[in-house]
Amino acid sequence: MTSIYEVYEDALAALEQRGRKRALAPRRGLDFASNDYLALSEAPEMRRALHEALERGVAVGAGASRLLRGNHPEHEALEAEAAAFFGAERALFLGGGYVANFALLSTLPQRGDLLVYDALIHASSHEGMRAGRAEHIAAAHNDAGAIEDAIAGWRTAGNKGRVWIAVESLYSMDGDRAPLADIIAIADRHDGILLIDEAHATGVFGPEGRGLGADYEGRENVISVHTCGKALGASGALICAPAVLCDFLVNRCRAFIYATAPSPLMAVAVGTALSLLRSQPERRARLHGLIEMANRRLEAECGVPGSGSQILPVIIGPDAETMALAARLQARGLDIRGIRPPTVPEGTARLRIALTLNVNEAQTAAMLDALAEEMRGLAAA
């Protein structure tokens, strides 16, 4: 008798055959895989803040959506603090970066508008675009000219709607930066609105860790997403935008309206993390020292160009070789993961090495020595 799950079993078998079946793996070894860049997720200050919040009666769960009974004073306090910290007119707290990107791109661009997006933008943004109403066009990665060409071609065809541009400030799999100054100039020329996903820059770059787009925050044509589950060590995401757009999301965004609100305790945690960005700049300074050393030694010892950020891609190419190399490094006590298509383009399977304050400089140097040794072995095989 045929299994009722045959179609799923066949799909999983096909993934297995191609070497692309995913599986959950436990935390083991030194952290070179997480996005906990400032090591705030287990910081004693975060633990104390949550303990104190519980002691004063802050609820674990919100119990409802924000529009029902789930709108907690901690949510509102965080949003006010975040708007002031990032320099935005208003902030809106959602359950995660995926939800925030989906919410923005499925709700704000309207039918008849154009959304031009960087080809390497997060998967969550792609899902939002597919669920939205606007026409969308990919532009070559970090190519401001390609963005402008797409807009010009669309206008030449007689289209009159609003132009939206979506980019990441720091790309999650390549660790490189968007040319934000060039892109904001394009948005200005075309009366467009720029959406900046700051997920991997928040807490790490910019004044007080306010992101690579800090100079543009608060403008009427800029919307930013600051993910809270990476360098901020908590969970959730903050959309920073003009008040009218936040009001529109509250009224029209199904991903906000129909979702149970984030835990009030997470609002406390995020607020604490923002305070730590101000009061402990030494965390960011230590991370930048690690970034400088690791980027320099990666090129010198492994022949791999550095990204200039805390995300170091080591592109191997074939899936099988990438995963075998990751396994050898894991066997040496180094938690380094292999990334395969479709997360990255075909033929660019890679190790994604993340630098965090969960390791020190000596441990990072030892990791790079091990990587160089294993790569020499791979080349000789």
Active site residues: 35, 122, 168, 172, 197, 200, 230
Between the alpha carbon of residue 150 and those of residues 115, 144, 159, 270, the distances in Å are: 10, 10, 12, 38
Helices (H), the chain: 6-17, 44-55, 73-86, 97-107, 123-131, 144-156, 180-189, 243-252, 254-257, 264-279, 281-302, 319-331, 361-380
Between the alpha carbon of residue 78 and those of residues 4, 41, 96, 206, 262, the distances in Å are: 47, 18, 15, 20, 12
What is the C-alpha separation between 120 and 167, in angstroms, rounded?
A: 8
What is the C-alpha separation between 204 and 286, in angstroms, rounded?
A: 11
- Is 338 within 8 Å of 173 (Cβ atoms)? no
Residue keyed to tokens 């070559």: 140
Residue/partner pairs of 2-11 with CB below 8 Å, 24 or more apart: none
What is the C-alpha separation between 90 and 154, in angstroms, rounded?
A: 31
Find how far residue 139's CA is from the centre of its chain: 19
Measure the CA dihedral 327/329/330/335, to 10°.
-120
Q: Angle formed by the axes of helices 123-131 and 97-107, to 10°?
A: 30
Both tokens assigned to 360? 């020190």
Between the alpha carbon of residue 369 and those of residues 322, 350, 363, 375, the distances in Å are: 18, 18, 10, 10
